[in-house]
């Protein structure tokens, strides 16, 4: 896989540019931080990168094919941890994770078993049967992370995945993201947490919808 190539990307609402002039390549095997203050455009950029939003200008390609597929449904190769979680309230934690696999053609029994393992990795083994509307903010966030990790997608886009987590759990989540990168995925983490940035291989900072500097660390 050649990675995700962002070329001249802008996203405008009405006449207001939310994101502008983004040129970036996200390489397989690298854990990349996208930082910036609230409102700097991180969520919008991740949404465009992953094919949820159509870029107003420019293109985003995954192995040469645009991630925007004309519908707002991301390609199967892309997994998201959304800032708003996007879990189904009436389903259990296990079902929320399992559906991500079933949607990719995994048989229900195997999907449920793999969902259990993914929840256990995030210390949620005891809560698999719990309806997500009964979970705390931090537990919901971990279910959303489990749902994204369980599919082992070539591209993993995580939007502030540790905002509700204590430092120990945050460290565990970063290890799981690192493992995805080590297995060859593109992993991008939007964050405003400097400790998360420090755990990444590469850092791109945004201000007012634009990249302001790029720091590459040797790996
Ligand atoms: P971040 O994730 O860094 O907090 P966002 O990408 O959510 O930033 O938002 C960047 C800016 O664009 C914010 O000022 C936000 O209010 C605005 N914005 C994002 N999406 C829309 C939209 N659909 N319509 C109008 N404004 C938007
Ligand atoms: Mg955001």
| For the CA of 41, the nearest ligand | 1
Residue nearest to atom 23 of ligand 1 (CA): 13
Size (the chain), residues? 219
Strands in the chain per DSSP E? 4-13, 16-26, 31-35, 57-62, 65-66, 78-81, 155-159, 186-191, 202-207, 210-216
Q: Which helix (H) or strand (E) holds 14?
A: none
Q: What is the pTM of this model?
A: 0.95
The per-residue pLDDT for range 119-161, each reduced to its tens digit, is 999 999 999 999 999 999 999 999 999 999 999 999 999 999 9
Please tell me the distance between residue 215's alpha carbon and the centre of ligand 1 in angstroms: 24
pLDDT band at 85 (very low <50, low <70, confident <90, very high): confident
SS3 59: strand
State phi, psi for 182 to the nearest 5 degrees: -60, -30
Ranges 2-11, 27-36, 208-217: which has the least confidence? 208-217
Q: Contact, 123 vs 46, CB < 8 A?
A: no
pLDDT at 218: 43
Residues in contact with ligand 1 (CB, 6 Å cut-off): 13, 18, 36, 38-44
Extract the tokens encoding 216. 């590459």
The per-residue pLDDT for range 182-203, each reduced to its tens digit, is 999 999 999 999 999 999 999 9
Question: What are the structural domains, with CATH classification, of the chain?
Answer: 4-216 (3.40.50.300)
Give me the residue label for tokens 């993201």. 177
Closest CA to 118 of 138, 93, 136: 93
CA distance 137 to 164: 6
- Ligand 1 atom with the smallest distance to the CA of 192 is 3
Ranges 72-81, 101-110, 117-126, 209-218: which has the least confidence? 209-218
């Amino acid at each position: 896989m050649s990675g995700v190539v962002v070329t001249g990307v802008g996203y405008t609402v009405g006449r207001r540019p939310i994101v502008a002039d983004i040129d970036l390549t996200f390489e397989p095997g690298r854990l990349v931080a996208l930082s910036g203050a609230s409102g700097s455009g991180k969520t919008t950029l991740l949404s465009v990168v992953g094919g949820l939003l159509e870029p107003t200008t420019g293109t985003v390609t995954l192995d040469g094919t645009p991630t925007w597929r004309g519908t707002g449904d991301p390609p199967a190769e892309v997994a998201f941890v959304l800032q708003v979680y996007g879990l189904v309230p009436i389903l259990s934690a296990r079902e929320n994770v399992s559906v991500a696999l079933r949607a990719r053609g995994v048989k229900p029994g195997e999907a449920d078993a793999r969902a259990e393992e993914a929840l256990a990795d995030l210390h949620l083994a005891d809560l698999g049967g719990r309806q997500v509307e009964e979970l705390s903010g931090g537990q919901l966030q971990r279910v959303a992370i489990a749902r994204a990790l369980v599919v082992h997608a070539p591209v993993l886009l995580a939007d502030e995945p540790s905002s509700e987590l204590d430092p120990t759990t945050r460290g565990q989540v970063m290890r799981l993201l690192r493992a995805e990168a080590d297995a060859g995925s593109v992993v991008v983490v939007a964050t405003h947490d400097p400790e998360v940035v420090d755990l990444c291989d590469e850092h791109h900072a945004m201000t007012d919808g634009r990249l302001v500097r790029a720091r590459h660390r040797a790996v």
